[in-house]
Structures are given as structure tokens and as C-alpha cells.
């Protein structure tokens, strides 16, 4: 790992300046734009965290909201018992444990098992939490009254995003990140290079889940009322996947390019077509899958290096043809 | 009580098996991981509901319309939505990822349309709701009818796959699409046919389920999930495996719902899934996969 080299210091310094500038946003805009900014930053964390694992490995996780919801629920349960930093730590631990369980039971198998498992996981967690609340605690729905303002939430999310980007940046130049890219290209090759494939995948999955959980925990005070249906809404997982795919999940800053336009689009859609939101979202998603398979980043790369790409497709045409 | 629990488990399991047979065909032969599969089941349930309540057509007659309609619909879905993905995929893994994403989008579109039309409430209708006595257990006649139809259709489906020319072609494609070409099987046609047939099975499952269960617009995900678990448990592409796995899942769920708590059925599903993943991910009767 090459810390303290100019090619490391320069981007980090630029990033630090940008984030420091963004921290002054609350003094510039009113509360409507602040709430929009919170949506953007929270989706930015979720989509970047999602891409950190799913981008290089191509294992599509459909369970973002499971971790997000666990974070939010931990705050709802413990928020008034413990000081907030302690609550965040507890949420992080809970998310890590669940991610380890999911990771170790599915990630040693082919990717499709992981997708299926995460696909139903939201439903499972929601029903189990509901069951537990109804039968054991007898408290369906909880109130979150914490002394945390909108600006606090914004700053916390911004800090979390900065940490996430730094982590991703360091990861990209570390042995672990390199191992992950090899796994994404060809798992068999990775095994033959002596990479412990399962451990690398689980480690990254847990890391990405940790950031999702913390986002949920930080966002929880924004709702005053939380129940399992609100906390574990599958729509959120779907939105995160769309954003990451639109931006391009294989670059660190790629998802951000999807987050900003889509958060604004969702804002317009929920305001104008609340009943048709899911249909429109599905259509947007289809358009991205069919027309922009590599995301905005992929499009940029395609036009930046047309020669290289033409060569590659040529080779594919020669070797391919029996893909079905 | 026990005989009732087991019988309702078998009925439920029969439905899961039927629905899973369709999915195993779509995934095993067409190589499409269809996350919108359960939505098709629910759409059929709602169509049966509309037929029964608004038009007075009973669900059994409704099947005569719904089966061909869903076959054609799925044919069109494959031709329009999935063929471009098949064409651009360089290998099986890429097709899997692309089809997961495309059908994930489809899921939200279908669910959104259902929500606009029917809202989030639970629906059910009265059809053959009189009690029948079987082996000392009192059972609603509609369950018996549903089970009977599941058996007949499942068996017919099995015979098509094992005894006819097209069925053999489908199984050949499931084993190896590249070699299937060498013996003059039109792989694209077979994939499309398998996808459409699988979709028709989903519709049959939806109609039969709607005769005795309440259903809502958001239940599709659960059906997809259970069908996927049954497919994996039985071994991908294995019809008899799906039958047995479906029955196991149905009976386990029914026993837990009767003796422990109805709120925990999905947890049972997941425990079974976890056990399969930990012990034998290739399925009860599956061959070892690479």
C-alpha cells in the first residue's frame, strides 16, 4: 500500500476541501433544500457502499434496506436508553453480525444463491421483527424522539460519506481491493492465485453492510415514528440498485453520478405521481438496464476509448456467437 | 388437528411444487432468473378473482382462458424483453445478472399496476367453500379441487417433458445448450417455449391458489422466493425434485403454522433454505455443479 505518495495525497486533499465546503451548506439554504441534500447524501452513501461490494464482484445485493432498517430500528429501540454514539456502535455491531451470517452462508456458493437469499431477506427480517414486536415486546411501532436536528443528520451523513470514500479509495489501492477485482474478473483464476475467495467476499460484504446500517441509524431521527413496514421498505433497495447502475458501479465515484439525477427525479415523481411511483421507477430501471448497461461511467469510457473497445468487440465476435 | 395440518400442508405444497416446476423450466432451460415470476402468479389470482366476482366465470373454466393467455403473454415477454439480453450476454453469468436486473424492474412495474388497480387490501372469493370429510379431517372442497388439478396438470407437464419430442428437446437444452445445437435443436425456440410454458404454470398456480387462500398485491415476492427455494432444494431443472421439495416446504410450513405460530412461516422457509445451502446446495437430487 502506498500511502503518503503524491497520487494519494492529492485526491484526498481535494476531497477534504470539497467536503469542508459542503459542510457549510446548512448556513446557505433553507430547510426544504436541506432535506433534499440529506436524501442525496444518504443515497450517495448507500449506493457507493452497495457498489463497493457489488461492483467488482457482480454479486447483486437486493437487501440494502435490511441493513438500513436494522440501523434505524436499533436507534428506535435503544435511542432513549444509551447516548447516541453508543447507539451507533450497537447498530454497527448488529449490522455486522447479520452480514457475517448472510455472507458465510451464501458467498461460498455461486452468485445466484446470494441474489436469491438477499431477495427474500427483506421479507424475512420484516416479518420476524413484526412477529417479535407483536408477541414478545407487544409494541408495534415505536417513536423516536431524539434531540438531533436536521443539520446534525446532514453533518453526520457527510462525515460518513467522507469516511466511506476514503475507505473505498484506500481499498482500491490495497491488496484486498486487488483481490476483489480479480475475483470479479474470474473466480477460478483468483483461487489459483491463492486468494481466499470466500473470506475476501465476506469481508467486503460486511464492510458495505456496515455503512448501510450506519446510514439507517443516522437517518432514524428523521422519522418520528418507525414500524417494520416503514423501516424495511423494499423500494429502498430497488432505488439504490438503480442509482448505482445508472452511475456505474465499477468506479468509486460512479454511483454518485446516478444518485444526484435520480434523487431529484424521485423527488419530482413522489410529489406528482405518488400512486404511479413504482411503475415509473420500474420503467426508469428497465431503460437503464437495456440502454446503459455500463452506466454513465461506462458510456464515458466507451466514447473516450472507442478504438480499444472496437478491438475488444472484434475479438468477442470471433470467439463468441455461442453465448446462448 | 394433525391430519388437517398435514392435508393443508400437502395442498399448499402441491401449489408450491406446481409453481416451482414452471420456474425450474424458466431457469433450467431458458437460463432466465425471473424475479417477477411471483407477480405472474398473483396477476393470475387477480384475474381469477375478477372472472369470478365480476363476470361469474368460475376459476376452473377461467383456466381455459388463462392458460393460453399467459402462455402467449410470456412468449411475448421473452421475445421482446429477454431476447436482447440473451443476444448481448457473452456467457451464462452475464445473462443471469442481466435477467435478474430486468425482471427486478418488471416486478416493480407489475406490482405498481396491481396496486393502482386493486390497492393494498387482501382479496378472496367464495368458490366451492363447503366442507368435505377426508380421512377424519374436515376440509374445504376448493382445496381438494385445487390439489386434484395440481396433480393432473403437474402429471401432464411431467409427461410432456419426458414423453414428447419437444419435451426431450427442452431437457437437452437444460443439460447443455451448446451440444443441443449439434443435434439440430433450435435452442432459441426451445428457450422461448420453456419460458412461456413456465409462465403458464405460474398462472395455473395463481388461479388454484386464489381458490382457497387470501391474496394481496404484495404477495408476489413471497411466491417468487418460495418457488426459488423449492427449485434449488429440488435441484435446478429437476421436475420430480421440485415436486418433493414443494411438498416438504408446504407440510413444514403448515405444521409450524398449526403448532407454533402462523407468523413464523416465512422463517421456516428460510431455515429450510439455509439448511439446503449449508448441506447440499446442488439440491436434494441435484448433480454436483462446478
CATH of the domain at A284: 1.10.3470
Q: How confident is the model at residue A71 (pLDDT cuts 50, 70, 90)?
A: very high
Choice between B93 and A245, residue whose per-residue pLDDT is larger: A245
> Per the CB < 8 Å rule, is B104 touching A241?
yes
pLDDT class for A324, splitting at 50, 70, 90?
A: very low
Is residue A285 within 8 angstroms of chain B, CB to CB? yes
User: Chain B contact for A286, CB < 8 A?
Assistant: yes
Average pLDDT, chain B: 85
What is each CA distance from B129 to A45, B137, B144, B151, in whole angstroms? 52, 15, 11, 20
- Residue A155 falls inside a structural domain: yes
CB contacts < 8 A, A to B, total 134
Residue A323 included in any domain: no
Arithmetic mean of pLDDT, A48-60: 88
A55, pLDDT greater than 60: yes
Cβ distance of B109 and A112 shorter than 8 Å: no
Q: Is residue A131 part of a domain?
A: yes
Average pLDDT in the A273-283 region?
86
Name the pLDDT band for A99 (thresholds 50, 70, 90): very high
Does A107 map to a domain?
yes
Residue A246 has pLDDT above 60, yes or no: yes
Q: What distance in Å separates the CA atoms of residue B42 and residue B209, rounded to the nearest whole number?
A: 9
Q: Please give the average per-residue pLDDT across A179-204, as a whole number.
A: 86
In sign, the C-alpha dihedral spanning B202, B207, B208, B214 is: positive
Confidence band (pLDDT; 50, 70, 90) for A4? Answer: low
The alpha-carbon gap from A324 to the nearest alpha carbon of chain B, in Å, equals: 6
Higher pLDDT: A162 or A8? It is A162
- What is the grid cell recorded at B228? 426459488
Alpha-carbon span A148 to A82, nearest angstrom: 14
Name the A residues in 122-151 with CB < 8 Å from any B CB. Answer: 123-124, 127-128, 130-131, 134-135
Asked if the model's pLDDT at residue A322 lies above 50, the reply is no
Give dist(CA A274, CA A293) in Å, integer: 28
Confidence check: pLDDT of A313 > 60:
no
B174-184 pLDDT per residue, tens: 888 888 888 88
pLDDT reading at A316 higher than 60:
no
Show the domain range for A72: 6-318
Q: What is the per-residue pLDDT for B44? A: 93
Chain A residues within 8 A of B186 when measuring between CB atoms? none
More confident residue, A85 or B3: A85
On chain A, the residues whose CB falls within 8 A of the CB of B102 are: 286, 289-290
Whether the Cβ atoms of residue B33 and residue B27 lie closer than 8 Å to each other: yes
Tell me if A295 is assigned to some domain: yes
The alpha-carbon gap from A161 to the nearest alpha carbon of chain B, in Å, equals 26
Q: What percent of chain B shows pLDDT beyond 70?
A: 97
Residue range A36-47: average pLDDT? 92
Q: Tell me: pLDDT of A321 over 50.
A: no
Please say if the pLDDT value at position A315 is more than 70: no
8 Å CB contact of A113 and B232:
yes
| Mean pLDDT value of segment B110-136 | 81
Name all domains of chain B by residue range, CATH numbers in brackets. 2-279 (1.10.3470)
**Contacts for B284 with CB less than 8 Å, ≥ 6 apart:** B233, B234, B235, B241, B244, B245, B276
Residue in B with minimal Cα distance to A279: B109
Query: Of A255-264, B53-62, B138-147, where does mean pLDDT reach its minimum?
Result: B138-147
The answer to whether position A171 is within a domain reads yes
| pLDDT grade for B137, boundaries at 50, 70 and 90 | low
Across chain A, mean pLDDT equals: 84
> Residue A320: which pLDDT band, with cuts at 50, 70 and 90?
very low
Inside any domain, residue A86: yes
State mean pLDDT over B207-230. 88
Whether B101 shows a pLDDT value over 50: the answer reads yes
Which residues in chain B have Cβ-Cβ distances shorter than 8 Å to A116? 225, 228-229, 232
Portion 238-257 of A in contact with B at CB < 8 A: 238, 241, 245
As a whole number, mean pLDDT of residues A58-64 equals 87
Higher-pLDDT residue of A297, B188? B188
d(CA B278, CA A96): 20
A156 in a structural domain: yes
Average pLDDT over every residue of A77-81: 84
- A104 inside 8 A of chain B by CB: no
Q: How many domains does chain A have?
A: 1
Chain B residues in contact with A245 (beta carbon < 8 A): 101
pLDDT at A306: 57
Provide ipTM, 2 decimals.
0.81
Whether residue B98 and residue A110 make contact (CB cut-off 8 A), yes or no, is no
DSSP result, chain B: -HHHHHHHHHHHHHHHHHHHHHHHHHHHTS----TTHHHHHHHHHHHHHHIIIII---HHHHHHHHHHHHHHHHHHHIIIIIHHHHHH-SSHHHHHHHHHHHHHHHHHHHHHHHHHHHTT--B---SS--EEEETTEEEEHHHHHHHHHHHHHHHHHHHHHHHSHHHHHHHHHHH-HHHHHHTT--HHHHHHHHHHHHHHHHHHHHHHHHHHS-B-GGGHHHHHHHHHHHHHHH-TT-HHHHHHHHHHHHHHHHHHHHHT-GGGHHHHHHHHHHHHHHH-TT-SSPPPP-
Q: Which of B93, B225, B264 sits opposite A119 (nearest CB)?
A: B225
pLDDT on residue B289: 47
Cα A74 from Cα A84, distance rounded (Å): 11
Q: Mean pLDDT over residues B222-251, rounded?
A: 87
Of A109, A120, A235, the CB nearest to B225: A120
Asked whether the predicted pLDDT for residue A318 surpasses 70, the reply is no
pLDDT of residue A97: 94
Whether the pLDDT of residue B204 is over 60: the answer is yes
178-237 in chain B: CB under 8 A from chain A: 178, 181, 187-188, 191, 221-222, 224-225, 228-229, 232
Amino acid at each position: 500500500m502506498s500511502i503518503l505518495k503524491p497520487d494519494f495525497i492529492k485526491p484526498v486533499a481535494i476531497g477534504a476541501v470539497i467536503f469542508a465546503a459542503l459542510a457549510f451548506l446548512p448556513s446557505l439554504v433553507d430547510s426544504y433544500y436541506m432535506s433534499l441534500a440529506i436524501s442525496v447524501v444518504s443515497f450517495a452513501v448507500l449506493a457507493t457502499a452497495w457498489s463497493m461490494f457489488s461492483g467488482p464482484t457482480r454479486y447483486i445485493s437486493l437487501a440494502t434496506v435490511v441493513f438500513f432498517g436494522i440501523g434505524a430500528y436499533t436507534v428506535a429501540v435503544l435511542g432513549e436508553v444509551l447516548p447516541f454514539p453508543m447507539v451507533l456502535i450497537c447498530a454497527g455491531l448488529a449490522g455486522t453480525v447479520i452480514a457475517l451470517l448472510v455472507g458465510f452462508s451464501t458467498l461460498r456458493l455461486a452468485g445466484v444463491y446470494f441474489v436469491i437469499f438477499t431477495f427474500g431477506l427483506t421479507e424475512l427480517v420484516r416479518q420476524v421483527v413484526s412477529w417479535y414486536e407483536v408477541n414478545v415486546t407487544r409494541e408495534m411501532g415505536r417513536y423516536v424522539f431524539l434531540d438531533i436536528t436536521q443539520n446534525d443528520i446532514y453533518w453526520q451523513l457527510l462525515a460518513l460519506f467522507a469516511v466511506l470514500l476514503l475507505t473505498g479509495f484506500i481499498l482500491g489501492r490495497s491488496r484486498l481491493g486487488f483481490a476483489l477485482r480479480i475475483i470479479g474478473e474470474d473466480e477460478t483464476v483468483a483461487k489459483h492465485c491463492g486468494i481466499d475467495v470466500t473470506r475476501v467476499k465476506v469481508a467486503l460484504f460486511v464492510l458495505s453492510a456496515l455503512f448501510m446500517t450506519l446510514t439507517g441509524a443516522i437517518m432514524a431521527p428523521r422519522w418520528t415514528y418507525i414500524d417494520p413496514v416503514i423501516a424495511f421498505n423494499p423500494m429502498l433497495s430497488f432505488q439504490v440498485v438503480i442509482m448505482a447502475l445508472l452511475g456505474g458501479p465499477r468506479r468509486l465515484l460512479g454511483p454518485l453520478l446516478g444518485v444526484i439525477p435520480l434523487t431529484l427525479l424521485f423527488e419530482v415523481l413522489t410529489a406528482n405521481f405518488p400512486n404511479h411511483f413504482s411503475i415509473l421507477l420500474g420503467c426508469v430501471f428497465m431503460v437503464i438496464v437495456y440502454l446503459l448497461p455500463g452506466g454513465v461511467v461506462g458510456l464515458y469510457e466507451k466514447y473516450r476509448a472507442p478504438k480499444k473497445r472496437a478491438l475488444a468487440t472484434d475479438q468477442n465476435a470471433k470467439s463468441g456467437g455461442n453465448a446462448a | 388437528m394433525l391430519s388437517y395440518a398435514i392435508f393443508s400442508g400437502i395442498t399448499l405444497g402441491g401449489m408450491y411444487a406446481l409453481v416451482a416446476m414452471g420456474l425450474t423450466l424458466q431457469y433450467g432451460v431458458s437460463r432466465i432468473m425471473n424475479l417477477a415470476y411471483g407477480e405472474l402468479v398473483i396477476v393470475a389470482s387477480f384475474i381469477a378473482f375478477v372472472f369470478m366476482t365480476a363476470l361469474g366465470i368460475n376459476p376452473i373454466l377461467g383456466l381455459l382462458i388463462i392458460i393460453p393467455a399467459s402462455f402467449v403473454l410470456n412468449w411475448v415477454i421473452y421475445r421482446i424483453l429477454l431476447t436482447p439480453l440473451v443476444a448481448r450476454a457473452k456467457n451464462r453469468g452475464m445473462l443471469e445478472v442481466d435477467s435478474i436486473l430486468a425482471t427486478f424492474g418488471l416486478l416493480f412495474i407489475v406490482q405498481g399496476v396491481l396496486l393502482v388497480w386493486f390497492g393494498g387490501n387482501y382479496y378472496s372469493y367464495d368458490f366451492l367453500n363447503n366442507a368435505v370429510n377426508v380421512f377424519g379431517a374436515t376440509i374445504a372442497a376448493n382445496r381438494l379441487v385445487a390439489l386434484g388439478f395440481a396433480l393432473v396438470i403437474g402429471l401432464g407437464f411431467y409427461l410432456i417433458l419426458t414423453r414428447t419430442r419437444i419435451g426431450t428437446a427442452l431437457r437437452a437444452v437444460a443439460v447443455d445448450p451448446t451440444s443441443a445445437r449439434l443435434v439440430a435443436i433450435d435452442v432459441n425456440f426451445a428457450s422461448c417455449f420453456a419460458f412461456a410454458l413456465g409462465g403458464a404454470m405460474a398462472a395455473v398456480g395463481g388461479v388454484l391458489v386464489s381458490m382457497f387462500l387470501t391474496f394481496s398485491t404484495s404477495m408476489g415476492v413471497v411466491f417468487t422466493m418460495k418457488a426459488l427455494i423449492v427449485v434449488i432444494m429440488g435441484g435446478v431443472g429437476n421436475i420430480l425434485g421440485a415436486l418433493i421439495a414443494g411438498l416438504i416446504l408446504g407440510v413444514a410450513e403448515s405444521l409450524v403454522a398449526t403448532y407454533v405460530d402462523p407468523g413464523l412461516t416465512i422463517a421456516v422457509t428460510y431455515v429450510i433454505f439455509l439448511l439446503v445451502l449449508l448441506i447440499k446446495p446442488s439440491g436434494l437430487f441435484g448433480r454436483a455443479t462446478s
